[in-house]
Amino acid sequence: MAIARDIADRPGAAATPARPAPLGEMIDPFGRAITYLRISVTDRCDFRCVYCMAEDMTFLPKRDLLTLEELDRLSTAFVEKGVRKLRLTGGEPLVRRNIMHLIRSLSRHLQSGALDELTITTNGSQLERFAAELADCGVKRINVSLDTLNPDKFKEITRWGDYAKVMAGIKAAQAAGIKIKLNAVALKGFNDGEIPSMLEWAHGEGMDLTLIETMPLGEIDGDRTDQYLPLSAVRAGLSERFTLTDIPYKTGGPARYVEVKETGGRLGFITPLTHNFCESCNRVRLTCTGTLYMCLGQEDAADLRAPLRASEGNELLSNAIDEAIGRKPKGHDFIIDRETRKPAVSRHMSVTGG
Ligand code: SAM
Ligand code: SF4
């Protein structure tokens, strides 16, 4: 594929990074520097997690997707405008055909020093096959989503997932030297009783664990008000068993961390419903069709596919990005409506990327 060849042919591609050229800066109307881009490279997935998708989820027609070359060009435009961290997500990023060509290609921005971090969020199903190559591309830490350590419950929550494959993927990533942060969605009546053992296991394996509250994104088969478990309650429960100390640790994401004295590991909480984390938001999200969402919890979006395709140069694209950042909202307003039981935002997490 052209982009991969382009990198491989670049003289001195693996040489010591030169001092990075000064890059642009994107500042939103509330003074926040936008330095983090999450890209949903596909809306497709090999799992059907019950809180994320309906089992008969309808996916986008393949012809609507940006090509890998277009995703590369768009990402690069953002890097040139000041993005320092890129996360590929989805859907399941590792099921997109030839995804490693894109990752290999984007890794040139790590080598040049323009990018601090290139990473993915994955369900782990394909990690065993890709771990070594990811490490070779400079991917140093990744997020793996895992909601339970019980293989039967894993099947129940992911519908289509294979627990053994995910475990093999985690081991392969660790063997390749990639640090893993586990993400678990806290679900009432499903994994609340298991969180202490997940914490002990993750920390014993040298992985951080972050708990996420369910967010009302997209129609699913079930009822989210039944699943919602406030993390304040989880934290209170854990405090009876563990000594949790707030720490200022930051990964550029919205999680707030505590250190767990008994395990020596870190535990993160992402609480979009009980705690407003918008004031320090540094990110925007791009879908696989080139739509830019300035906020996960708002409908406003900007189409970047048209300016991308309208010309070979990046001027139109760059103007469209500036215009979009100029209307990034102050924050979101998630609610799970108890009257209508409808999600506050109708698109799925797999479209915008988690
Ligand atoms: N397929 C990959 C995975 O599962 O890691 C990446 C995409 S997935 C949409 C990203 C994250 O979003 C996962 O950790 C998943 O558990 C979380 N997620 C999906 N739907 C959610 C929802 N409605 N509320 C909260 N988290 C959700
Ligand atoms: Fe797929 Fe991730 Fe959604 Fe699960 S959470 S269905 S793995 S995109």
Q: Is the CB of 47 under 6 A from ligand 2?
A: yes
User: What does the pLDDT average to over 139-155?
Assistant: 98
Q: Which ligand is nearest to the CA of 154?
A: 2
> Is the overall model pTM greater than 0.75, yes or no?
yes
Identity of the amino acid at 130? F
Confidence of residue 23 (pLDDT cuts 50, 70, 90): low
Look over the chain and give the mean of its residue pLDDT values, rounded to a whole number. Answer: 88
Confidence of residue 346 (pLDDT cuts 50, 70, 90): low
Q: Which ligand is nearest to the CA of 229?
A: 1
Tell me the pLDDT tens digit for each residue of 58-106.
999 998 999 999 999 999 999 999 999 999 999 999 999 999 999 999 9
Burial of residue 47 (CB within 10 Å: 0-12, 13-18, 19+) is buried
Tell me the pLDDT tens digit for each residue of 286-329.
999 999 999 877 889 999 999 999 999 999 999 999 999 999 98
Domain range summary for the chain, segments of one domain joined by +: 19-352
- Nearest CA owner, ligand 2 atom 3: 52
> Residue 296 Cα, ligand 1 centroid: separation in angstroms?
12
Q: Is the pLDDT of residue 21 over 50?
A: no
Q: Look-up: residue for tokens 């100029």?
A: 326
| CATH code assigned to 19-352 | 3.20.20.70
The pLDDT of residue 281 is 87
Tell me the pLDDT tens digit for each residue of 225-265.
678 888 999 999 999 999 999 999 887 677 899 999 999 99
- Nearest CA owner, ligand 1 atom 19: 52
Mean pLDDT lowest for which of 102-111, 162-171, 182-191, 253-262? 253-262
The pLDDT of residue 254 is 77
Q: Report which of 204, 271, 208, 199 is spatially closest to residue 241, judged by C-alpha positions.
A: 199
Neighbouring C-alpha atoms within 13 Å toward the C-beta of 33: 11
To which H or E segment does residue 244 belong? strand 244-247
Q: Please provide the distance, in angstroms rounded to a whole number, between the alpha carbons at the two ends of the chain.
A: 28
> Residue 202 Cα, ligand 2 centroid: separation in angstroms?
20
